Amino acid sequence: MTRENTRRRLNELKELLNQYNYEYYTLDKPTVSDAEYDRLMQELMELEAQYPELITPDSPSQRVGGEPLAAFTKVQHTSPMLSLGNAFNEGDLRDFDRRIRQEVGDQFSYICELKIDGLAVSLRYEKGIFLLGATRGDGVVGEDITYNLKTIKSIPLKLKNEINIEVRGEAYMPKRTFEELNKERETRGEELFANPRNAAAGSLRQLDPKIAAKRQLDMFVYGIGENEAVILDSHSAGLDYLEQIGFKTNHERRRCASLENVLEFIEYWAEKRPSLPYEIDGIVIKVDSLEQQEQLGFTAKSPRWAIAYKFPAEEVVTRLIDIELSVGRTGVITPTAILEPVRVAGTTVKRASLHNEDLIREKDIKLGDFVTVKKAGDIIPEVVNVLEKRRTGEEKDFVMPSSCPECDSALVRLEDEVALRCINPKCPAQIREGLIHFVSRNAMNIDGLGEKVIAQLFNENLIHDVADLYQLQRDELLRLERMGEKSVDNLLNAIEASKANSLERLIFGLGIRLVGEKAAKTLAQQFETIDRLQAATLEELTTIQDIGHKMADSIVTYFAKQEVKDLIEELKLNGVNMAYTGPKAVNATEIDSAFAGKTIVLTGKLEQLTRNEAKKEIEALGGKVTGSVSKSTDLVIAGTEAGSKLDKATQLGIEIWDEAKLIQELKR
């Protein structure tokens, strides 16, 4: 076969296979057998192996390929991917409807769509070829996950028209796939995904696209970000157009002439929701006319022409079999309800939070009770109430023990606390939980040291405190179950890299009571070394902004312990950094700037700086940037399309600058 004939045959195969993919995954109407599809794919791959220079990005062979990435790169969206405001009841929707009518009058219609419970992503095409896919991120900057998105077969690699366009949609995991994935993970002894949304997000953030490909994700496109191809007059027309050029949209949508029609649509899907093959958590309502959308505009965070109605959390009834106690890293004893397995919001629930002993008494929960269970925020299962009328008399009161379930030490209730605590510093559960906290992402960020690995190391007596992590040996790790050479090498490299972390990560990782991530950063900036922090007095600590008396007392008490002093010395000997390496703290009183000592709010869209850049420059000049306008706000900087924050600042008589004034003051 000549080179030109090969090129021609490759193009034929790509067109055929892309069309068959479209029919199967988008239209759900396959026209060829699996065997015929596989035969054509094999022919394509053999020809591409002979002529690799003829491989193109739109080839179906390119959906999964290449080596795992080292990390995701950042991507700036061409226009912000804004979140939607929420409505939780009919009253919220009527308020939304009233605001729309005040702006555009009564001549408009809504378009209602199912709110898919997945991960918002952006797809960019040039001359009809899929070039870039990104996560929503913070709405302005996301992460490049192109290779993972290519594994979703309902996403076209080549459009029917050679156009430049950017579209937005929701990548999701079908219910059936989610259940199969969790069964596999349970068989392997791995932690289960909480829900399909988490599973989809976790799949798309895998550095190896082959893993994402195995997860069988899907996607619905719901909007256009940038469009150089066609002039549209409505959102519904845009969805129809997206279908015409090859995208998969959700057909369960309806144009509604009134809010009453919207409420009917919501009621219908609230009942039919369990019958769908994918999870939804609400209904999205948008003004259909694009001209009216433009007239209504945006707030800083969301469009004024759209709102998301969130379904109430699903509640189910099951029996409470037992109450199990766990010990946290600070010694707090937390009761957890053990339930007869029941399906709630798409997942099987066997456990639910009970928080503390007072809540058990307040709700009069007994062992053997029938209880109502829901997922708070559709994520965390919790017991709502007891069905007292279903009691038989065989239920038993639950009594909190007087000693720790892990080490048998006496439990105490500290002043002003509802929780019982184990105050034994050598309690195995506290040590284990403390180790898990130390290696966590916001602390020392040691990749590969999850809860199960920590438990394994602890149970094998390889670690007893955090310093032991830095003395782990390759040969002893290789002897452990499920520890291959590559995973051991990666783990040891991650432990070694963590030694260079700035001081605030170490302070937070040590788990000092009442010291969170923000306080750890403040302490690191103020004292700069662990030695200076250890030597700090109560008086010195309480003079620092945001460090109250209780926190200061907790810090002094912690560093006074001999075992803590010994631990710090061990960490030093193992080469762990003990100094702050981040930007210096700014003392507003020593800075001569228009921002020094002021509380400032940024709102609207800035043209010359990103919001984060502006925040950093203001804070470097002694200002404090916050997210909401209040009486304590000194200054509001308003970009274009500023919304409710600007309105509130005007009402409160707060000084307001535009971006030009901001830039002028930053340059002084």
Q: Which of 14, 115, 375, 521 is catalytic?
A: 115
Residue 547 Cα distances to 298, 521, 540, angstroms: 38, 11, 10
Catalytic residue at 115? yes
Q: What is the mean pLDDT of residues 120-130?
A: 93
pLDDT of residue 379: 62
Q: Does 422 or 67 have the greater pLDDT score?
A: 422
Tens of pLDDT, residue by residue over 177-211, are: 998 888 888 777 677 777 788 888 888 888 788 88
DSSP class of residue 561 equals S
pLDDT of residue 69: 63
Give the pLDDT band (50/70/90) at residue 627. Answer: confident
* Candidate ranges 102-116, 297-311, 585-599, 632-646; pick with highest mean pLDDT: 102-116
Contact 321, 396 (CB under 8 A): no
Classify each residue of 150-181 as buried b or exposed e, where b means 16 or more C-beta atoms within 10 Å of its C-beta: bbbbbbbbbbeeeeebbbbbbbbbbbebbeeb
* Mean pLDDT, the chain, integer: 88
Which residues face 381 on adjacent strands? 375
Segments in 371-481 forming alpha helices (H):
428-438, 451-459, 474-478
pLDDT of residue 590: 62
d(CA 221, CA 165): 13
pLDDT of residue 63: 74
CB atoms within 10 A of CB 575: 11
The answer on pLDDT for 492 being more than 60 is yes
pLDDT of residue 42: 85
Q: Does 475 or 139 have the greater pLDDT score?
A: 475
Rounded percentage of the chain residues whose pLDDT exceeds 90: 51
Give the pLDDT band (50/70/90) at residue 414. Answer: confident
Q: Describe the crossing of helices 259-272 and 90-104 by its angle, rounded to 10 degrees.
A: 150
All structural domains of the chain, each given as residue ranges with its CATH number in brackets, are 3-62 (1.10.287.610), 85-310 (3.30.470.30), 315-397 (2.40.50.140), 428-498 (1.10.150.20), 503-573 (1.10.150.20), 588-666 (3.40.50.10190)
Give the pLDDT band (50/70/90) at residue 629. Answer: confident
* Candidate ranges 18-22, 358-362, 506-510, 592-596; pick with highest mean pLDDT: 506-510
Nearest to 34 by CA among 49, 22, 21: 21
Beta-sheet strand order (sheet of 599-603)? 624-626, 599-603, 635-638, 655-657
Terminal Cα-to-Cα distance of the chain (whole angstroms): 70
Q: What is the mean pLDDT of residues 383-398?
A: 94
Contact 115, 378 (CB under 8 A): no
* Candidate ranges 189-193, 416-420, 599-603; pick with highest mean pLDDT: 599-603
Q: What is the mean pLDDT of residues 125-154?
A: 90
Sign of CA dihedral 430, 434, 435, 436: positive
d(CA 172, CA 219): 6
d(CA 136, CA 81): 6
Give the pLDDT band (50/70/90) at residue 325. Answer: very high
Tens of pLDDT, residue by residue over 74-109, are: 888 888 888 888 898 899 999 999 999 999 999 999
pLDDT of residue 309: 94
Tens of pLDDT, residue by residue over 288-319, are: 999 999 999 887 678 999 999 988 877 889 99
Q: What is the mean pLDDT of residues 119-135?
A: 93
Give the pLDDT band (50/70/90) at residue 376. Answer: low
Which residues face 134 on adjacent strands? 122, 144
Give the pLDDT band (50/70/90) at residue 64. Answer: low
Give the pLDDT band (50/70/90) at residue 68. Answer: low
Q: What is the mean pLDDT of residues 13-40?
A: 81
φ, ψ (nearest 5 deg) of residue 64 = -130, 125
3-class secondary structure, 13? helix
The answer on pLDDT for 500 being more than 90 is yes
pLDDT of residue 491: 94
Q: What is the mean pLDDT of residues 217-238?
A: 89
Give the pLDDT band (50/70/90) at residue 66. Answer: low
d(CA 599, CA 233): 43
10 Å CB burial of residue 488 (0-12, 13-18, 19+) is buried
d(CA 499, CA 503): 10
